[in-house]
Structure 1
Amino acid sequence: MPIPILICDDSGFARKQMARSLPENWNVDVSFAANGLEALSAIKEGQAHVLFLDLNMPLMDGYQVLEVVRSQDLPTLVIVVSGDVQPEARRRVMELGALDFIEKPINRDKLDAILQRYGVLQELEAPDQLFESLSSDIQVEFDITEGYQEVANVAMGQAADLLARLLHVFIELPIPQVRLTPGVQLAEVVAETVPNHRLSVVSQGFACAGISGEALLFIDESDLSELSYIFDPEEGSTQLDLLMEISNILIGACMSGVADQLELKFSVGHPEVLGRGIDVGALRFQHGRADEERLTIGIRYGIQEQRINCTLMLIFTGDSTPALEERVKWLVE
C-alpha cells in the first residue's frame, strides 16, 4: 500500500523540484499543499506520513505549522526544506519538533542520507517490486515567475546567512517580489517596493553571456546609524564604509547564489553610491524601449530585534529574459 507523502511549498516550481528529488522506487502517494493551512488539512486527512515543509509561505508559514503539529500531536514526520539557512532558523525548527532540516536547492544524496538515518527510506521502499521514477510520473504546473522567485528565495537565504553570522542576529526573510514590468514603469515598481524615506542607495552592475542587469541596495539613513552600533566597525571607519560593507555582503552573496543555481559566472562592476539621504522618486532609470519587459526581483531583509530593514532589488535587462527562462526551466527538467 502506498505511503502518503506531502510536499508543502507556496511555489509550484519548488514543489516540482522537491518531487523530482525524491528517491526512485518508492511506493508512495505524493500530494501537494501551497501553504500551511492546506498542509494541516492534508495531515488530518491522513495524506502526510512524511511532510516536506517550506518555511516562508503566505497564510501560515512553516514555523506555525510545526507549532500546530506539536501542540495537537498530529501524525506526521516533518522534514523542513528551506532556503533560509541561518543557524537560528535551523535551531527553531528542531526545537519545534522537525525531524531534520534540508537546505535548498535539494541535494539528492543528502536527502537520501537523512531518510536512511531516520529509517524512513527503509520503511517506504518496496523491496519486492520496482516502481517507475516518481519524477517522471508527477506533473506539477508552475508559472515561470515562480521559478524566478524560487531562485531568488535560495539566493536571499544565503545572503541573509552571511549577514546574520556577521551581526549575530536573526534576519527576517519575506517572499521575494517578482515582476515582469514594462521599462517605462520601472521607477513606479521600485517606488512600490522600497519605502520612500531618506535612503542611501548603492548600485552594482552585473553581466554574463546573454544576461545582464543592475543590483540596487536601499537602506534608510536612520537604520544605517542603528547598524553602526551592532556592526562593531573597525576604528576610524565611517557610515559610508559600513554601507559599502553591507552592500558587498548582500549583493555579492545574492548574485553568487543566483549564479551557482543557474551555473553562470557573473562579472560584476564596482559598487557605486547613487545617493545618501534621498527619496526613491529622485532616482532615474534607463528603461530601454517602452514595450520592453524587465524582470525585477525585490527582497526586503529585516533584523527582528532592532527593527532595521533594507531592500535589495535585482533588475535584469529586457534581452536577458530568454536566457534566464531557459536556465530556470532547466532546473526542473
Structure 2
Amino acid sequence: MIKNMNILICDDSVLVHKSITRSLQACSNANFFYAENGEEGLEHLKNIDIDIMFLDLTMPVMDGFSVMKSLPVRDFTTTIIVLSADVQCTAMERSLALGADYFLPKPFDHKQLIELSQRLGLVFDGVQHSVTGAHFISEHPIDNIREIANIALGRGAAIISDHLGDFIKMPLPNVAFMKSSDLSMAIADIRNDNELIAITQRFVGGGIHGEALVELHGQDIHVFGEKLGFSQTDEYKNEVVIDIANLMVSSFLVALSEQILIPFSVRQPIVLEEYMNLHHTQCETNTYFTIEYTYKAEILDVECDVLFIMDSHSLTIINDKVMESLH
C-alpha cells in the first residue's frame, strides 16, 4: 500500500510555492502544506507529521537556519531539503551541519527535484492532481520579481564571498515603487552624509533602462577592497570604492541576466555628483520601480546598500520574461 506523504513548503515566496507544487502535482500520494516564514513552518511541524520539508534560508520573521536550530519539535523524522538562493559554500556547509539532508540551489532544476522526490517515496502517476488548500497563485509583478531578485542576490553574494573569503549575510530584497520626489530626497540625504560614499552606475539591455546607486559605509571599506583584490593608487580618489560598487552591480546584473535571458551593458561607475539628480524637478510625477538590498560582511565592519532604479516599462519587460519561464 502506498503511503501518503505530507509535504511542507516553507518559503516566503509565493512563486516558489507555486513552482514546487506544479513540479510535484503529478504525485498521487502527496499532501501539501505551506508556510511563509520559519515560525509558521515550526507550527506545522509541531502539529503535523511532515515527511518532507522544503526550506528556504532567507525569510522574514524566522530564517531557515533558525528553524533547523529549533528542531526537533516532536518525535517524528522529517527529511529537510534546503532550497535556497543563498548559494555560498558556507551557507551549504552550515545547512548540512544543522541537520539538512539535501541542499538544492535556486532556481531549482525540476527534473532533479522530481528524481529526489521519487527517491524519498513520492509516487508519480502522470496525472495532474488537484491540490487542496493551494491559495498561493499570484501573478503580481512585484511577487514574481522579488523572487528572481532574491536568486540574483544569492548568486551575487556567492561571487563576493568567494572573492572575499568571508560569509556574506544574505539580505531580503525590497522590491517596490518609489516616487520621483522620494528619490530626490534620498539622494539629497546621501549627499549630506559625510560618512557615506555613494557610487552610481547606469545599465541598459533588452529595453530595460536603469541606474544603480551603491552606498558604502563602515571602518573596513579599504580592507574589504583589498580582500577582493582591489588596490588604492591615489589616496584622494575612490578607486577601491568604485571597484567594489562595480562588483556589486555587475554580479547582480549577471545573475539577473541568466534568469531573464537579457544581456546587460553597463557604463563606468562614478561617484555621485550634483548633476546626477536625474532631473527630478522636471518630472515630479514619475514613479520608479526599485530593487533595494544591503550586503553585510559577517566579520568586517562594512555595509553595502544597493538601490536599482528602473522605469515602469522595465518592470513590464522583466515580469513578462518571468512569466515565460513559468509557462
TM range (shorter): 0.7 to 0.9
Q: Name the counterpart of 2:303.
A: 309
- Range with bigger deviation, 72-81 or 26-35: 72-81
Mapped to 1, the partners of 2:187 and 2:72 lie a distance apart of: 41
Equivalent of residue 261 in structure 1, options 255, 259, 262: 259
**Identity across the alignment (%):** 27
Matches within 5 A, 1:63-82: 63-70=65-72, 74-82=76-84
Asked whether the equivalents of residues 22 and 134 of structure 1 are also in contact (C-alpha less than 8 Å), the reply is: no
Amino acid at match of 1:153: N
Mapped to 2, the partners of 1:21 and 1:193 lie a distance apart of: 45
1:59 paired to 2:64: no
Q: Name the counterpart of 1:175.
A: 172
Asked whether the equivalents of residues 186 and 285 of structure 1 are also in contact (C-alpha less than 8 Å), the reply is: no
TM-aligned CA deviation for residue 27 of structure 1:
2.2
TM-aligned CA deviation for residue 229 of structure 1:
5.6
Amino acid at match of 2:15: F
Going from structure 1 to structure 2, the CA distance change for 1:44 and 1:282 (only over 3 Å counts) comes to: farther
Going from structure 1 to structure 2, the CA distance change for 1:134 and 1:289 (only over 3 Å counts) comes to: farther
Asked whether the equivalents of residues 226 and 308 of structure 1 are also in contact (C-alpha less than 8 Å), the reply is: no
Amino acid at match of 1:148: I
Q: Name the counterpart of 2:319.
A: 325
Q: Secondary structure of 1:124's match? A: coil
Q: Name the counterpart of 2:246.
A: 248
Mapped to 2, the partners of 1:189 and 1:231 lie a distance apart of: 29
TM-aligned CA deviation for residue 87 of structure 1:
0.6
Equivalent of residue 269 in structure 2, options 268, 271, 274: 271
Amino acid at match of 2:266: V
TM-aligned CA deviation for residue 63 of structure 1:
0.3
1:295 paired to 2:292: no
Going from structure 1 to structure 2, the CA distance change for 1:53 and 1:282 (only over 3 Å counts) comes to: farther
Mapped to 1, the partners of 2:219 and 2:112 lie a distance apart of: 43
1:5 paired to 2:2: no
Asked whether the equivalents of residues 20 and 332 of structure 1 are also in contact (C-alpha less than 8 Å), the reply is: no
Mapped to 2, the partners of 1:195 and 1:22 lie a distance apart of: 53
Q: Secondary structure of 1:246's match? A: helix
TM-score, with structure 1 as normaliser: 0.85
Q: Secondary structure of 1:41's match? A: helix
Unaligned runs of 5+ in 2: none
Amino acid at match of 1:132: Q
Amino acid at match of 1:140: F
Amino acid at match of 1:295: F
Mapped to 1, the partners of 2:109 and 2:224 lie a distance apart of: 35
TM-aligned CA deviation for residue 220 of structure 1:
1.9
Q: Secondary structure of 1:109's match? A: helix
Q: Secondary structure of 1:162's match? A: helix
1:155 paired to 2:152: yes
Asked whether the equivalents of residues 223 and 309 of structure 1 are also in contact (C-alpha less than 8 Å), the reply is: no
Mapped to 2, the partners of 1:70 and 1:44 lie a distance apart of: 9
Going from structure 1 to structure 2, the CA distance change for 1:37 and 1:273 (only over 3 Å counts) comes to: same
TM-aligned CA deviation for residue 28 of structure 1:
0.6
Amino acid at match of 2:34: F
Mapped to 1, the partners of 2:63 and 2:231 lie a distance apart of: 38
Mapped to 2, the partners of 1:149 and 1:328 lie a distance apart of: 11
Going from structure 1 to structure 2, the CA distance change for 1:229 and 1:248 (only over 3 Å counts) comes to: closer
TM-aligned CA deviation for residue 308 of structure 1:
1.4
Q: Name the counterpart of 2:48.
A: 46
Going from structure 1 to structure 2, the CA distance change for 1:39 and 1:221 (only over 3 Å counts) comes to: closer
- Range with bigger deviation, 179-188 or 158-167: 179-188
Mapped to 2, the partners of 1:332 and 1:169 lie a distance apart of: 34
TM-aligned CA deviation for residue 208 of structure 1:
1.9
Going from structure 1 to structure 2, the CA distance change for 1:186 and 1:52 (only over 3 Å counts) comes to: same
1:164 paired to 2:161: yes
Q: Name the counterpart of 1:278.
A: none
Asked whether the equivalents of residues 15 and 144 of structure 2 are also in contact (C-alpha less than 8 Å), the reply is: yes
Amino acid at match of 1:261: Q
Mapped to 1, the partners of 2:165 and 2:149 lie a distance apart of: 23
TM-aligned CA deviation for residue 148 of structure 1:
1.7
Mapped to 2, the partners of 1:251 and 1:228 lie a distance apart of: 15
Mapped to 1, the partners of 2:189 and 2:35 lie a distance apart of: 30
- Range with bigger deviation, 100-109 or 222-231: 222-231
Q: Name the counterpart of 1:204.
A: 201
Q: Name the counterpart of 1:30.
A: 32
Q: CA RMSD in A?
A: 3.1
Asked whether the equivalents of residues 233 and 239 of structure 2 are also in contact (C-alpha less than 8 Å), the reply is: no
